[in-house]
Structure 1
Amino acid sequence: MDIALADLQTYCGAAPDEAVVVIDVLRSFTTAAYLFHAGARSLLLAATPDEAGVLARRFPSAATVGAVPGGFPIDGFDFGNSPAALRNACLTDRDVVLCTAGGVRGATIARHAALLLGGSLVCAAASARLLRRLDPPRVTFLMTGIYVDRDGDEDIACAEYLTALLRGQAPDPAPFERRVRESTFGRRFGDPAYPHLSRADMDLCAQADVFDFAMPIVCQEGVMMVVRGE
């Protein structure tokens, strides 16, 4: 299994037999995992608030979760892009419209991959287990947190942790968890200058292997959605 790294600026699209793990540790695919923990049935991906509105009208019983670039919550949504806000929520058997910047964008540009997964530290071991079982010839870790003002090391750390797992190693998760906290974006969580980025969110995002399921991304009836996998 060949392993490659890419970001939103350098990614050129997936080969037909390739697996792509779209990594967004802070916070899209950590939030996604906590949505499944809260009982959500599927997560309908929307790239913009307008697209989220269209999906919410199409699926009127769906909850709405998301944030605009920078992590600011969206007016009128049920929840922000916040794992801490969802930890004790009850969304049993409900669909959720999930609207975020990096994670949804990454899923959209990699949608033609043979296997597409949402990736974060909290479900890393389960994701690696699924990849080892399916054994695609190539896996690309698409890191979505690299911007002009962010080093994206939270996603790079997750990609390197996944790489070690795929190579049969048993890495200590602590250094990778620490890198999430110390990344450019990670240091904003708990800073009073960024009240929408809570320390509670960071405490949940910077934990490896909390959940024993992967998060495949599929397309059904023209809608990209994240489902709870193995």
Structure 2
Amino acid sequence: MDIGVREFIKGSCEAEGLTVIIDVFRAFSVACYAYDNGIKRLIAVAGPEQAYELREQLLAQTVLVGERNEKKPEGFDFGNSPTEMLTADLTGKTMIHTTTAGTNGILNARGATEVLCAGLVNAGAVAKYISIVKPAKVTLVAMGYRATESAEEDIMCALYIKDLLEGREPDLSAAINELRTGSGRRFFDPANIRFSPPTDFFLCTDLNRFNFILKAVVTETGYAEVVRVDMGN
């Protein structure tokens, strides 16, 4: 199995084989918590305008979730916060999701044979799935902060999945703790508490909390259906 690590939108554009788009803070952590809290369907879109348009087209109950510059766009129901997903009434609803990095990483992975979405919360399940399907090539794309700056947590998640696939089981506890004073320090800044609360940090770094993967399929409409697949025991 050939395993490569890439970064940013450029990395997703260049990705080949089974591709894992990684966004720990916070896109795919949010998606996992939303599925765990009862959403029926998740659709990833490029931006707020596409989200508004899709909401008008769908007859199902929808919630708009996402961010631009880390903050909830006007007219959205929720920001890109796992804390909000824990307390929201999401049962049976369709979630339309857009973020600066994660969802756009999905939509740009056009050369991939299969696309999975990962954060630390489901990294082990992703590695388990890849070990089962045994693709010849795997590309792990660390999307980074706003898809333009390397993010410690995304690189950590990519290397953790790579380690698991290569038979190693690293202990990330110290590295996760160090994120509090590194790329995760923004969650502890009082100026950000309304849209990036400290609880988001702990929810996003709860390693292997979920035993399911998120599989993304881009449709002819240009959106991506993101489906939960449980991995079992």
Q: Structure 2-normalised TM-score?
A: 0.90
The alpha-carbon deviation at position 225 of structure 1 amounts to 1.6
Alignment CA distance shift 1:148-1:34 (3 Å): closer
- Tell whether the 8 Å contact from 2:9 to 2:143 is kept in structure 1 after alignment: no
- Measured in 1, the distance between the counterparts of 2:132 and 2:114 equals 12
Alignment CA distance shift 1:9-1:40 (3 Å): closer
Amino acid at match of 1:5: V
For 2:192, what is the secondary structure of its paired residue? coil
Aligned position for 1:62 = 62
Alignment CA distance shift 1:221-1:175 (3 Å): same
- Measured in 2, the distance between the counterparts of 1:138 and 1:202 equals 32
Aligned position for 1:26 = 25
- Measured in 1, the distance between the counterparts of 2:32 and 2:121 equals 7
The alpha-carbon deviation at position 160 of structure 1 amounts to 1.1
- Measured in 2, the distance between the counterparts of 1:27 and 1:140 equals 20
For 1:79, what is the secondary structure of its paired residue? coil
Aligned position for 2:14 = 13
Amino acid at match of 1:35: A
Q: Which runs of 5+ in 1 are unaligned?
A: none
Deviation track 1:160-206 (CA, whole Å, cap 9, x = no partner) reads 1111111122221313423543433x111120232321101011011
- Measured in 1, the distance between the counterparts of 2:5 and 2:181 equals 21
For residues 103-182 of structure 1, what are the structure 2 equivalents within 5 Å? 103-146=102-145, 150-182=149-181
Q: Which runs of 5+ in 2 are unaligned?
A: none
- Measured in 1, the distance between the counterparts of 2:75 and 2:186 equals 24
> How many residues are paired up?
226
* 1:211 and 2:210 matched: yes
The alpha-carbon deviation at position 228 of structure 1 amounts to 0.3
The alpha-carbon deviation at position 147 of structure 1 amounts to 5.7
Q: Structure 1-normalised TM-score?
A: 0.91
What is the alpha-carbon root mean square deviation over aligned residues?
A: 1.8
* 1:83 and 2:82 matched: yes
Identity in percent: 34
User: Greater helix share, 1 or 2?
Assistant: 2
